[in-house]
Chain A
Amino acid sequence: MNAIWIAIFGAVCFVMGYRFYSKFIAERIYRLDPDFQTPAHTYQDGVDYVPTNKWILWGHHFTSVAGAAPIVGPAIAIYWGWLPAILWVVLGTVFAAGVHDFGAVVLSNRHKGHSVGTLANKLIGQRAKLLFLFIILILVLMLNAVFAWVIANLFITFPASVLSVLIQIPLAVWIGYRVYRHSGSMLLPSVIALVVMYATALLASEVPILQFDLVSWFGGTDTAVAGGFNATSMAFLVWIVVLMAYVYIASTLPVWKLLQPRDYINSHQLVVGLALLYLGLFFGAPEMTAPSVNGEAEVSWYPLLFITIACGAISGFHGLVASGTTSKQIDKETDARMIGYGGALGEGMLALIAIIAVGTLFASSADFTATYSSFTAAGSNGLGSFVKGAGQLIGNLGIPEHMGSTLVAVIVVSFAATTLDTAIRLMRYIIAELGTEYGMPVIARKHVATSIAVIASAALVILPEGPKGFGSGGYLLWPLFGTSNQLLAGITLMLVSVWLKRQGRPVVFTLVPMLFLLVMTLWAMGQQVIFTWSGFGDADRNLLLFTFGSLILVFALWILLEASRSFRQGPTASQESLSSDESR
């Protein structure tokens, strides 16, 4: 099948979903009121609460939620064939992600712009707040470990991308200082930075001396280096240590010095990357060479598909962004539809092109089967396949494929590095909050909390042993990351459902996606924990994954119990206060 038809199918479903389903949700379920005074107007302070044009806010929301995760998940999930992956991305985005992101914006907008965590505390109680904190803690821990592996893996597979990514750091600091000290627009300096980065990437693709190929420096793939590490394993170790040292410094700096300007450059990269990939698709019109359904898959697609693709179909992280910043800038309540639902559709388009890039990479179905020979191989090779497939798509525009792959590797690493920085920062805040909550002020200190976050993340990414030794097995954590992300989405949908029920409105449109997510999460985690990681039967025991999987399983059950309790009970005192918040 020609891949263009898949892109058109996805786009048509998304347009129909926006045109009809989101309209129905907006009018009948969330009942948006154009006259409702939004928090951006009520609490306008020029910093957090600022009424913002809906197009600008949509763009901002989309660039905040889109990153490397909607690329990695689909690149692994194509193991079951492209059809299940496409269907989950399209249906998940239209019926779950759109409703979830949209609901998070509306719920927060109706409650002074409070974040999901605060709303969980108010709506359900202190237990829910702690549950929420622990789930976010696990989510960001997994995120740090997985993304550190993503970056190390791409640096090893595409060493020409390293120099360009390193150059981005001083360029971002320069832009940050320039704007902070002298004001002015970031547009021109960031475009210059982007040109310098891409020129470096293209040059490094052609000049081997500019490539940081650690595996070659250590003597080649199978060379034993020291302490039982081979060259690849040692390269993973070195990159992970370097990344963690970098992220320690980056996450303790003020955000305007590095994080924000780098984010700005990355937003260009998102636009450039999406444009190049879709243009490459339409100019090249490649065939999908991967099978539509992989009949040779030894692991069943259900329920694992639903936690392998989290971002791109539905993601709890979006609820944090929607309620944390976006809802405070909504000009009119009716804008929430375009910003929340439309933002989810944007991420769906990114996930779609990721599936198409991998699905069109291979010369034949047999090549696909050789690369995706098992679910473990899919985890290990998925990201590399996306980068090569994307390079091939960009090749249709006249850019040599190896250069295209280097550019795509730079883009994915840049996304992952920014996410890593943000996640370590977030983890630091949560550790500090938990320290304060439990009377341990020492761990609330900036450098102590950051050290705990960095050491825990480094240990987690180094410990899982992949086929290439220690440090190369970070992808094994991907299902855990997907599960914790889905749990977070489940909490947000639960809060929206409780709010709708108290308003006397239908809850089926939020409750069904929530139950679907929680059942699939429980099923997938139960299956992995009991039959794969516990050592049951012939499987090898993996204590690390077993422990984390069990923890997540307990949290998922806890959420289900909390949800059923909230639905059975009438509003508590705190819920009453929430109600009064809304009736302002």
Chain B
Amino acid sequence: MSRADDDNAAPAGWRSRLKQIIEGYDAVLSLQHRREIARELQDEEDLFMLLCFCDMMGIPNPVGDMTLELYPYMLDRFHEWHQRQGMPRSPLDGFRCC
């Protein structure tokens, strides 16, 4: 490796090291904030899922025909949701994700 390559490698190493330090510092400070944001988003998600599936739980849903079309796209999210609600298996007969 030539001297010029060495000179280029050193600043690049420095830059990547500095970037790592800044990213680590940001991760330290934003850990708690990210948790709260994730919790807020999860709550919104849970409410949305409840609105979509409320008719299958005995709550009348005036827009059931439309939300029905969403079901195929929501299979994975539905699975995560019912597990989060403390139900290890799918609670719906017609909607078996697991």
Chain A residues within 8 Å of B, Cβ to Cβ:
45-48, 50, 52-53, 55-57, 59-60, 63-64, 179-180, 185-187, 190, 254-256, 260-261, 263-264, 267-268, 325, 329
In the complex, B39 has a CB within 8 A of chain A: yes
Q: Chain B contacts of A260 at CB under 8 A? A: 32-33, 36
Mark the stretch among B10-18, B19-27, B53-61, B88-96 that contacts chain A: B19-27
Structural contact, A56 and B84, CB atoms closer than 8 A: no
In the complex, B63 has a CB within 8 A of chain A: no
Structural contact, A186 and B29, CB atoms closer than 8 A: yes
Interchain CB contact (< 8 A) of A179 among B24, B25, B31, B33: B33
Interchain CB contact (< 8 A) of A264 among B30, B35, B39: B30
Q: Report the nearest B residue to A46, measured CB to CB.
A: B38
Interchain CB contact (< 8 A) of B32 among A55, A185, A263: A263
Q: Report the nearest A residue to B84, measured CB to CB.
A: A45
Structural contact, A47 and B28, CB atoms closer than 8 A: no
Q: Chain A contacts of B40 at CB under 8 A? A: 180, 254, 256
CA distance A472 to B6 in the complex (A): 64
Q: Chain B contacts of A263 at CB under 8 A? A: 32-33
* Min C-beta distance of A132 to chain B, whole Å: 23
Q: Given A186-B26, A187-B26, A254-B40: A64 and B35 within 8 A (CB)?
A: no
Q: Chain A contacts of B26 at CB under 8 A? A: 185-187
Structural contact, A261 and B27, CB atoms closer than 8 A: no
Interchain CB contact (< 8 A) of B36 among A57, A63, A256: A256
The SS class assigned to the B binding surface is: helix
Structural contact, B31 and A56, CB atoms closer than 8 A: yes
In the complex, B68 has a CB within 8 A of chain A: no
CA distance A179 to B35 in the complex (A): 13
* Min C-beta distance of B32 to chain A, whole Å: 6
In the complex, B67 has a CB within 8 A of chain A: no
Structural contact, B38 and A56, CB atoms closer than 8 A: no
Chain B, interface residues (CB within 8 Å), range: 10 to 19
Interchain CB contact (< 8 A) of A47 among B22, B25, B30, B42: B42
Given contacts A60-B31, A264-B30, A325-B35, 6 further A-B contacts (CB under 8 A): A52-B31, A59-B24, A59-B25, A60-B29, A187-B25, A267-B28
* Min C-beta distance of A292 to chain B, whole Å: 37
Q: Chain A contacts of B39 at CB under 8 A? A: 47-48
* Min C-beta distance of B31 to chain A, whole Å: 4
Q: Given A47-B42, A187-B22: A59 and B32 within 8 A (CB)?
A: no
* Min C-beta distance of A168 to chain B, whole Å: 15
CA distance A535 to B6 in the complex (A): 78
Structural contact, B24 and A255, CB atoms closer than 8 A: no
Can you list 19 contacts pairing A with B, beta carbon distance less than 8 Å?
A47-B38, A56-B24, A56-B27, A56-B28, A59-B25, A63-B28, A64-B32, A185-B30, A186-B26, A186-B33, A187-B25, A254-B40, A255-B36, A256-B33, A260-B32, A261-B33, A263-B33, A267-B29, A268-B29
* Min C-beta distance of B40 to chain A, whole Å: 6
In the complex, B70 has a CB within 8 A of chain A: no
Q: Chain A contacts of B1 at CB under 8 A? A: none
* Min C-beta distance of A356 to chain B, whole Å: 26
Q: Report the nearest B residue to A265, measured CB to CB.
A: B29
In the complex, B4 has a CB within 8 A of chain A: no
Q: Report the nearest B residue to A263, measured CB to CB.
A: B32
CA distance A186 to B25 in the complex (A): 11
Structural contact, A59 and B28, CB atoms closer than 8 A: yes
Q: Chain B contacts of A48 at CB under 8 A? A: 35, 39
Q: Given A55-B24, A187-B22, A256-B40: A63 and B29 within 8 A (CB)?
A: yes
CA distance A187 to B30 in the complex (A): 8
Closest 8 CB pairs of A and B: A59-B28, A260-B33, A60-B31, A187-B26, A267-B29, A47-B38, A56-B27, A256-B36
Structural contact, B33 and A325, CB atoms closer than 8 A: no
Q: Chain A contacts of B98 at CB under 8 A? A: none
CA distance A190 to B26 in the complex (A): 10
* Min C-beta distance of B26 to chain A, whole Å: 4
CA distance A186 to B29 in the complex (A): 9
Q: Report the nearest B residue to A328, measured CB to CB.
A: B35
CA distance A59 to B36 in the complex (A): 18
Q: Chain B contacts of A64 at CB under 8 A? A: 32
Structural contact, B37 and A256, CB atoms closer than 8 A: yes
Q: Given A53-B27, A55-B24, A187-B22: A325 and B32 within 8 A (CB)?
A: yes
CA distance A284 to B28 in the complex (A): 31
* Min C-beta distance of B76 to chain A, whole Å: 14
CA distance A325 to B35 in the complex (A): 10
CA distance A60 to B30 in the complex (A): 8
Interchain CB contact (< 8 A) of B37 among A56, A57, A179: A179
* Min C-beta distance of B36 to chain A, whole Å: 5
Structural contact, A60 and B22, CB atoms closer than 8 A: no
Q: Report the nearest A residue to B35, measured CB to CB.
A: A47
CA distance A576 to B78 in the complex (A): 36
Q: Chain A contacts of B37 at CB under 8 A? A: 179-180, 256
CA distance A358 to B28 in the complex (A): 30
Q: Given A45-B84, A47-B42, A187-B22: A60 and B28 within 8 A (CB)?
A: yes
* Min C-beta distance of B82 to chain A, whole Å: 14
